[in-house]
Structure 1
Amino acid sequence: MTNGAKREEREGPVIDLGDIGRRAALFERIRRDHATELAEDYLELIADLIATGGEARLVDLASLLGVSRPTVNAMIGRLQKDGLVESKPYRAIFLTDKGKAVAEHSRERHHIVLAFLQALGVPADVAEADAEGLEHHVSDQTLAALAAATERLNTSD
């Protein structure tokens, strides 16, 4: 294939605009992924804080996320409502069993994406930042393919 042919392929639409059902399903998945992305990031960070310091405090979450305490408080309220965390006023925040499972699942996804990017030779700091976003938006099938590709890349050396 010539460079011109490659260029032509990239200029066309990514999705067949005539396939309305497929397009709608794609954007529904994207909206769902975005809706859970922030919650998963909070749960991962809460798990990290508990693992390193025994507890997660609202002030620590706000500081590490670079957001205000009221912003964190609102998210903690949402996570409580969803049964993912437990908290009392002026006390530490803890993960429920459901919250622990979500945090662990998200952490596994993060490690798979990070390992793949590093196996490609992406610098560690860039790979970490990119993995943080990608982990929320890849399907289980793509994740399995990334894990398999990472294994091949790491054993081909």
Structure 2
Amino acid sequence: MALRNRPVRREKPLPDADVHSQGFRQTREARRSALVEDYVELIADLIEDGNEARQVDIAARLGVAQPTVAKMLTRLCTEGLVSRKPYRGVFLTEAGRKVAEESRIRHQTVEAFLRSLGVSAETARIDAEGIEHHVSAETLEAFRKAMTAAR
């Protein structure tokens, strides 16, 4: 007997529309900020690795075309997160360094939590790239508490 066309029975009623829309708004905002955070975090990583953060290197590491990077760097400059100098790399402003650090901490927490569940290092690293942008401060704190309790 096929179950494809049968409606799924809900265990709880739908929440109030304002409450329900909050989750969708949060997800849309996370998507908007995810790309910015990925760029800023990568720029910080390249600089900390002892290299300049050059457009060509950013494109190679993100797997995108250089014109895509150029467009994003213009946006990041406008938002006050990076500065560029002719014939030099990209540099983070103080605000950019703050965004990069916050993103890195979220990433490390999510990755460590996934590893504590037995997820392989490679899968945890890849999954954390997406999850870090969508996880709330409350959930991150719960991850930290769970890891501390498991020790």
- After TM superposition, the score normalised by the length of structure 2 is 0.90
Deviation of residue 140 (structure 1)? 0.4
Considering fraction of residues, name the structure with more helix.
Answer: 1
Distance (whole Å) between structure 2 residues aligned to residue 15 and residue 26 of structure 1: 17
Partner of 2:101 in structure 1? 104
User: What is the Cα-based RMSD across aligned positions, in Å?
Assistant: 1.6
2:82 paired with 1:85: yes
CA contact under 8 A between 1:15 and 1:23: conserved in structure 2?
Answer: no
Q: Percent identity?
A: 49
Aligned AA (2:92): L
2:60 paired with 1:63: yes
Distance (whole Å) between structure 1 residues aligned to residue 23 and residue 77 of structure 2: 29
Tell me, what secondary structure is at the counterpart of 2:49? helix
Q: Which structure 2 residues correspond to residues 138-157 of structure 1 after superposition, within 5 A?
A: 138-153=135-150, 155=151
Partner of 1:24 in structure 2? 21
Partner of 2:5 in structure 1? none
Tell me, what secondary structure is at the counterpart of 1:53? coil
List gaps (5 residues or longer) in structure 1: 1-10
Deviation of residue 24 (structure 1)? 1.4
Partner of 2:71 in structure 1? 74
Structure 1 runs of 4+ aligned residues shifted over 6 Å read: none
Q: Per the alignment, do residues 15 and 42 of structure 1 end up closer, same or farther by CA in structure 2, a change over 3 Å counting?
A: farther
Tell me, what secondary structure is at the counterpart of 1:146? helix
Distance (whole Å) between structure 1 residues aligned to residue 11 and residue 40 of structure 2: 33
Q: Per the alignment, do residues 12 and 117 of structure 1 end up closer, same or farther by CA in structure 2, a change over 3 Å counting?
A: farther
Q: Per the alignment, do residues 140 and 26 of structure 1 end up closer, same or farther by CA in structure 2, a change over 3 Å counting?
A: same
Q: Which structure 2 residues correspond to residues 6-21 of structure 1 after superposition, within 5 A?
A: 12=9, 16-17=13-14, 19-21=16-18
Partner of 2:118 in structure 1? 121
Distance (whole Å) between structure 2 residues aligned to residue 53 and residue 33 of structure 1: 30
List gaps (5 residues or longer) in structure 2: 1-7
Q: 1:63-99: CA deviations, max 9, x gaps?
A: 1111000000000011000000001343200000000
